[in-house]
Amino acid sequence: MGAIFLLEDGRRFEGEAFGARTSRVGEAVFNTAMTGYQEVLTDPSYAEQVVTMTAPHIGNTGVNSDDPESERVWPAGFIVRSLSRSPSSWRSEGSLHHYLRDAGVPGMQGIDTRALVRHLRDKGAMKCVISTDGTPEAELMEQLKAYPGMVGRNLAAAVSCTEAWVAADPAEPVARFAVVDGGCKKNILRLLEGAGCYVRVHPISDPAEAWLEGVDAVLVSNGPGDPAAVDGVTSELAKVVGKVPLVGICLGHQLIARTLGATTYKLPFGHRGGNQPVRDERTGRVQITSQNHGFAVDRASLEALGAEVTHTHLNDGSVSGFRTADVFAVQYHPEASPGPHDGSVLIDEFVEMAKGGAK
């Protein structure tokens, strides 16, 4: 059976179906990572998004049980130029087709992904519907119109864990972290654990008092959706500022900025991929980073608060990180996975900050 992909503005693509036979609505985005499709698929930040990969061959290394960044597949749909049905990797335990089928996620291949990506680049991320089950197009358009989209949606609460759990508990921790889970990737926890930290993960809906209990620092994780819609969290985060160091990644970066009083805005088509150049303004050094976000922090509003912009995205000059005496946050993913490991030094900085305590 064929697959159909419809965009909000009427653009239409036909291709071949793989994965699950179903219809799903979401936001159409693209990712430029050349490797790491399984990490992309299991990153909670992709909740309710139909992800198109710009790399032409996907599925080459199959899927395995070591690489997932969470317990499930998050995107609403997955679009590739050419699906590999015969994986070549000693770690492969199955095919991408079966993986998506079992996860209930529709896939589509054999379309001109360049045309689709250029369209999204010109027109911006937009609402879409993907169908692999033969649902009539008129019905799909109705579903698309009924879909509320990303703006104003608090998706972080929906993907967060439901109760606190301890991810790492070494005998002599170098620092103790509470991680506020807005859709946290496993590798953030792995890196903190690797640095010798005690790590406790909390639902984003927990009160600040619960986060703060017996920790040296609070880290706000990555996550999906519109930071402005998660505003209930900022009043809790405000209680952390000044008590212990507050650090953040991606959505966490945006939430901390909003807590301080800065504003966020939607980027035209977002930064998603493993090739995003960021300059550390403190050293002039450039890191090639992994990023995945559709919203950004307004530079002027940060500077008006007296915050130091520590990192700049070199493609469009947007804010990639900032710091004050009490907080430090980056828009990119120091935990990579997928992507280059250039940013992992940031985790060390977080740990140092935690050791130093509140200023």
Partner 1 sequence: MSAKVNPDQLRFPPGSTLLVIGSGPIIIGQACEFDYSGTQACKALKELGYRVVLINSNPATIMTDEELADATYVEPLTVEAARQVIAREKPVAVLPTVGGQVGLNLALALHEQGVLEEHGCMLIGADPEAIELAEDRKLFRDAMVEIGIGVAESDVATTLEEAEALLDKVGLPAIIRPAFTLGGAGGGIAWNREEFRAIVTEGLRLSPVTQVLVETSLLGWKEFELEVIRDTADNVIVICSIENFDPMGIHTGDSITVAPALTLTDRELQNLRDQAIRIIRRVGVETGGSNVQFAVNPANVPEGRHEVVLRLRDESGATSTATSGGRLTFDRTAPNGQAAPEGRIIVAEGDSELADLQCDAGSVTEANFYPLFEAKEAAGQPWCPATQSWGTPCN
Q: Cα dist. 161→6, 19, 71, 237, 289 in Å?
A: 32, 27, 11, 18, 26
Q: Is 214 or 284 the residue whose CB approaches partner 1 more closely? A: 284
Region from 6-14, 59-67, 190-198, 230-238 binding partner 1, contact rule CB under 8 A: 59-67
Binding to partner 1 by residue 71, rule CB under 8 A?
Answer: no
Question: Binding to partner 1 (CB under 8 A): which residues in 118-177?
Answer: 118, 121
91 is a contact residue toward partner 1 (CB under 8 A): yes
- Judged by CB under 8 A, the residue of 8, 27, 67, 181 near partner 1 is 67
Give CA–CA dist 304/328, Å, rounded: 17
Paired strand residues for 107: 18, 78
* Residue 282, token pair as written in the block: 């403190």
Q: Which is nearer to partner 1, 40 or 156 (CB)?
A: 40
To the nearest 5 percent, what fractions of the chain are helix, strand and coil? 30, 35, 40
Using CB under 8 A as the binding rule, whether residue 341 contacts partner 1 is answered as yes
Nearer to partner 1, 3 or 336 (CB): 336
Please state, in angstroms and rounded to a whole number, the distance separating the CA atoms of residues 115 and 81.
Answer: 11
Query: β-strands 198-203, 217-220: how paired?
Result: unpaired
Question: Is 39 among the residues that bind partner 1 (CB under 8 A)?
Answer: yes
Please state the closest distance from residue 329 (CB atom) to partner 1, in A.
Answer: 23
Asked about 335 being catalytic, the answer comes back as yes
Residue from 7, 18, 23, 38 binding partner 1 (CB under 8 A): 38
User: Would you say 96 and 106 are in contact if contact means Cβ atoms under 8 Å apart?
Assistant: no
| Pick 2 or 56: Cβ nearer partner 1 | 56
CB 100 within 8 A of CB 19: yes
Our finding on whether 113 is near partner 1 (CB under 8 A) is: yes
The least CB distance from residue 43 to partner 1, in Å, is: 12
Residues 6+ apart with CB under 8 A from 113: 30, 52, 53, 54, 56, 79, 80, 81
Contact between 281 and partner 1 by CB under 8 A: the answer reads no
Q: Are 8 and 127 in contact (CB under 8 A)?
A: yes
Out of 114, 145, 282, 355, which residue is the one contacting partner 1 (CB under 8 A)?
Answer: 114
Is the peptide bond between 75 and the residue preceding it cis, with omega within 30 degrees of 0? no
How far the first Cα of the chain sits from its last, in Å, is: 61
CB of 97 to partner 1, least distance (A): 17
Residues classed as catalytic: 250, 333, 335
Q: For binding to partner 1 (CB under 8 A), which residues are involved?
A: 30, 32-36, 38-39, 54-57, 60-61, 64, 66-67, 81, 88-91, 113-114, 117-118, 121, 269, 271-275, 277, 279, 284-286, 288, 314-316, 336-341
